[in-house]
């Protein structure tokens, strides 16, 4: 792997632990002003110092993120659909590589929609991005999207998606946690991070999800709603960090969450 590409990946996956806590804030690209991120700057600002990488679109990056930030950016470059449109899967590439370079990003991200009418289109977009990423030394994160069909999140389907993403050259894959998750990781020869998915009932559930994913081979999380929809988002991201980087148990991380919540968050 080229030096520049390795260097950018090392900004995201921290060499000290080989792990990462990415903060996903790209939901508005198809969901509009999602609950608790109606004002992106207000949501992102207090969380940014605690994130190993931030995943926004270019619009939110420009309008709502301080350019002095030292947090690496993983830029979502796919889109073109909305939650009220005919198909969330019908995505194209929305942001050029030239623009990604101008924005000094550490990686670009797109969704792939395996098993849909738009499988070929989104997989070829991945391949095109990887070709450009190899040229410029910029890693590509593939998101194994399921659109509105959350029930698709099972091991056989996610294994298929992750492996295809890796075969097409993705440098990092983002998927969902599932029963048998270790098989998803085993079949994917590049690092895997998990999305948090819709908000879970309790912080204990979020920490358990994080712990289970990491103990079964994920290198980290790229989490959104379960952090910024928390009543205590800064405490939430710090306790997720404890599981990811300090190998805290769920109980230790939950105790930390309760302490932080009581004191500052």
- Annotated active-site positions, please? 174
Task: Give the 3-state DSSP-derived string for 98-151, with helices as H, strands as E and coil as C.
Answer: HHHHHCCCCEEEEEECCCCCCHHHHHHHHHHHHHHHHHHCCCEEEEECCCCCHH
12 belongs to the binding site for ligand R5P (CB under 6 A): no
Q: Binding residue for ligand R5P (CB under 6 A) from 133, 196, 220, 233?
A: 196
Instruction: Build a one-symbol-per-residue string for 112-141: x at contacts with ligand R5P by CB under 6 A, - elsewhere.
Output: ------------------------------
CA distance 248 to 256: 10
Exposed e or buried b per residue across 22-32, where buried means at least 16 C-beta atoms within 10 angstroms of its C-beta: bbbbbbbbbee
CB distance 36 to 226 below 8 Å? no
CB of 114 to ligand R5P, least distance (A): 14
Q: Binding residue for ligand R5P (CB under 6 A) from 58, 163, 225, 245?
A: 225
Q: How far is CA 241 from CA 20, 86, 123, in A?
A: 8, 38, 32
143 belongs to the binding site for ligand R5P (CB under 6 A): yes
Q: Can you read off the two tokens belonging to residue 200? A: 């879970």
Stretch that binds ligand R5P, among 44-52, 120-128, 220-228, 253-261 (CB under 6 A): 220-228
CA distance 176 to 145: 9
Nearer to ligand R5P, 55 or 123 (CB): 55
222 belongs to the binding site for ligand R5P (CB under 6 A): yes
Of 106, 78, 107, nearest in space to 92 by CA = 78
27 belongs to the binding site for ligand R5P (CB under 6 A): yes
224 belongs to the binding site for ligand R5P (CB under 6 A): yes
Q: Binding residue for ligand R5P (CB under 6 A) from 24, 54, 170, 235?
A: 24
197 belongs to the binding site for ligand R5P (CB under 6 A): yes
Which spans of this chain sit near ligand R5P (rule: CB under 6 A)? 24, 26-27, 55, 111, 143, 145, 195-197, 222-226
């Amino acid at each position: 792997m080229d030096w520049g590409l390795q260097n950018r990946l090392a900004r995201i996956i921290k060499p000290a632990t080989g792990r990462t806590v990415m903060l996903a804030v790209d939901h508005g690209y198809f969901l509009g002003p999602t609950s608790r991120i109606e004002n992106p700057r207000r949501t992102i600002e207090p969380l940014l110092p605690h994130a190993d990488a931030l995943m926004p679109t270019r619009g939110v990056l420009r309008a709502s993120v301080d350019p002095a930030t030292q947090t690496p950016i993983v830029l979502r470059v796919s889109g073109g659909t909305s939650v009220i449109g005919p198909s969330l899967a019908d995505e194209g590439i929305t942001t050029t590589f030239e623009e990604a370079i101008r924005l000094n990003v550490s990686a670009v991200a797109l969704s792939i929609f395996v098993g849909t009418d738009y499988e070929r289109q989104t997989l070829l977009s991945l391949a095109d991005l990887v070709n450009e990423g190899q040229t410029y030394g910029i890693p590509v994160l593939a998101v194994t999207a399921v659109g509105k069909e959350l029930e698709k999140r099972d091991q056989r389907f996610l294994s298929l998606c992750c492996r295809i993403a890796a075969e097409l050259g993705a440098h990092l894959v983002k998927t969902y946690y599932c029963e048998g998750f270790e098989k998803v990781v085993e079949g994917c020869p590049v690092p895997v991070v998990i999305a948090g998915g819709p908000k879970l009932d309790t912080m204990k559930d979020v920490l358990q999800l994080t712990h289970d994913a990491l103990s079964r081979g994920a290198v980290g999380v790229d989490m959104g709603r379960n952090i910024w929809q928390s009543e205590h988002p800064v405490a939430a991201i710090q306790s997720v960090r404890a599981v990811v980087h300090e190998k805290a148990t769920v109980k230790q991380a939950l105790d930390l969450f309760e302490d932080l919540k009581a004191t500052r968050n």
